[in-house]
Amino acid sequence: MPAPESPAALAAEAGAHVPIHRLVQAAAGRFAGAAAIEQGEHRITHGELERRAGAVAAALAAAGTARGDLVAILAEASADVIASALGVLRAGGAFVPLDPRSPATRLEDAVAAARPRVCLVAAEHAPVLQRIERAAGVALLSVRLDEVGPAGAGEEPQIELGPDDLAYVCFTSGSTGRPKAIAGRLSAIDHFIRWEIDAFGLGPGVRVSQLTSPAFDAFLRDAFVPLAAGGTVCAPPARDLVAEGDRLAAWIEGSGLHLLHCTPSLFRLLLAQEPVPERFPALRHVLLAGEPLPPADVRRWQAVFGQRIELVNLYGPSETTMVKLFHRVRPADAAEALVPIGKPMPGARALVLDGRQRPCPPGKLGEICIRTPYRALGYLDQPELTRQAFVPNPLGADAGDVIYRTGDLGRVREDGNLEVIGRRDQQVKVRGVRVELAPIEALLRSQEGIADAAVVDRLDGEGNTFLCAYLVLAGELDAERLGEVLRGQLPAADYDEVFPPRPSSRCGWCDYQRSCPEGQQAAAPHRPWDALAEL
């Protein structure tokens, strides 16, 4: 087998790096009067966003922010979050977006993990910051966004970051129950943004959805693709709109979206509205990521819209920054057992390796590994965890040639496209969010009245993944109190509802079929990782 191309050659394949804040700044210079962000009745132009980002950078410099400092952002309005992120980069820092709607314990863990020096905070969330500081035992220098002076009130620092500098920190599920802090590389952001703009011919005036929480790296895609293209970030007036299919569909149509980023779970809400061919006249692309895309959903969509509104299946963990593989869905995919995740974009490669780190032939199951210079820098301040996940390329001779082990099991089809089959660990995806099951089980076991717990993923009647906990009871269970505990400590993706306990089996465990909530599927546990024993 020939040696793979060098990391430098792989990077060159994706084109010249331009820092994302400079791409957005250049677009603002060309389209100053055009809408940059729309959220409900609120509208901000590219020129106004440019001035706000500059004012944030100047305020951070006045507060003593230095190159490489971590700056938390605690805000919910899209304009506040985006202007803050751009301002942090222009001040030479790295931004740490926090979602004010996250459970208090998750916010505290995130701050404890990242240890930002400064926090840009919206006025309405200042009390939240105070609670975080008390609980985490930290004191952050607070800069109120409503008190940031007008553009020109302070001097913006002249700092240029390098392509491999830390640009942001996002969080994903951790096996210990605490979120893992992923250190994002600056060049990885514009690598994806430039690809999506070019791949789909996006230009001035393009209208793109922003439905993702700022705490996840997918927010970067939602925000920076339209801004760098000279288009508009379209955010719903209220985030709970995404939970109701009729309101979501009406908003998509009323907003005149051209491109929708969403998870298959959210996509399924649109399908449930039984759309007609005339619906969504402006929409051209739906880019799906975060979960498997079922062929049945492709079939239902294409039966209505044909190829007028293109579906694209995207794949890539946060550790490799947003997305690294893509597949433009074809009519034939509706008849397949699985919709493939496709092939890598320029600047990335995908390997499927067996248990001995050898390449798997087409059709053979193995672990999917991603090779790209546009990966994350690693896990913040966790060198051992970084070494376990980001490993030397077993097929290369260059010491700097690194691959990321995704933990996903897949195979290469005869046509060269990749399929994802499952996981080799206890991690699952719920509404596009990575969830570790072990910490949830540990939380349940710590509650009064519960002797043991097992958490598994299940499918509801619409094909959406949900988590179901099976309990061994040690006494009376206060379901209402348990619900309060779960709501306070688990992200929304992990928790919906507490059902009354059902009869247990003779061995003490609740019976899987009898315990599953009514109308929902309780398939036998699926363990695709067992196949690795054959490798």
Buried b (16+ CB within 10 A) or exposed e, 395-409: bbeeeebbbbbbbbb
Least confident piece of the model among 89-103, 177-191, 364-378, 413-427: 413-427
Token code pair at residue 198: 């070019």
Please report the domains of the chain, with CATH numbers, ordered by start residue. 30-161 (3.40.50.980), 427-528 (3.30.300.30)
CA 316 from chain centre, in angstroms, equals 9
- Range 130-137 average pLDDT: 88
- Positive or negative, the Cα torsion across 158, 162, 166, 168? positive
- Choose among 369, 371, 261: nearest CA to 4: 371
pTM of the model: 0.81
- Range 423-440 average pLDDT: 67
Query: What per-residue confidence (pLDDT) applies to 451?
Result: 67
Give the SS3 label for residue 377.
Answer: coil
Residue 503 scores a pLDDT above 60: no
- Range 289-316 average pLDDT: 94
Q: How far apart are the C-alpha atoms of 45 and 35, rounded to whole Å?
A: 4
> What stretch of H or E contains 128?
helix 126-136
pLDDT tens-digit map of 13-33: 888 899 999 999 999 999 999
Comparing 470 with 313, which gets the higher pLDDT?
313
pLDDT band at 206 (very low <50, low <70, confident <90, very high): very high
pLDDT band at 528 (very low <50, low <70, confident <90, very high): very low
Residue 413 scores a pLDDT above 80: yes
